Amino acid sequence: MSNHLIEFTEFIVKSLVDSKDLVSVKEFPTSEDNTILLEVMVSNSDMGKIIGKKGKTANAIRNLVQIASKENKKVKLNFDAF
C-alpha cells in the first residue's frame, strides 16, 4: 500500500545510522482508516542518532515522511531498537 513510504523512510534512516544493514521499516495495520503506521527498527547503538536532541531528528524524519506521503493519510512513525 505505502511501499514508497517504507523505501523513503529506510533511505532517510540508513543515511543517519552506522549499522545500515540492521535498519528495518515495516507497515502495520491500524484501526484508523486514515492512518499509516510505520515501525522503524535500528540497532541499540544507533537509537540516539535517530531520536536526536530533544527528539528533533525523529520529528524531522516524521515530517519528511508525512510530506512524501502521496495518500491523504496521517503517517505515524514508531522508533525502536534491538
Chain Cα centroid distance, residue 79: 7
What pLDDT, on a 0 to 100 scale, did the predictor assign at position 70? Answer: 81
What pLDDT, on a 0 to 100 scale, did the predictor assign at position 16? Answer: 98
Q: What is the homologous superfamily of the domain 3-81 according to CATH? A: K homology (KH) domain (3.30.300.20)
Q: Mention every residue, 6+ apart, whose C-beta is less than 8 A from residue 56.
A: none
The DSSP element (H or E) to which 28 belongs, if any, is strand 24-28
pLDDT digits (tens, 9 = 90+) for 23-81: 999 999 999 989 999 999 999 999 999 999 999 999 999 999 999 998 788 999 999 99
| Mean pLDDT calculated for residue range 12-26 | 98
Q: Which three cell numbers stand for residue 43?
A: 540497532
What pLDDT, on a 0 to 100 scale, did the predictor assign at position 41? Answer: 98
Distance CA 27, CA 77 (A): 9
Whether the pLDDT of residue 1 is over 60: the answer is no
Q: In this structure, are residues 35 and 74 in contact, taking their beta carbons and an 8 Å threshold? A: yes
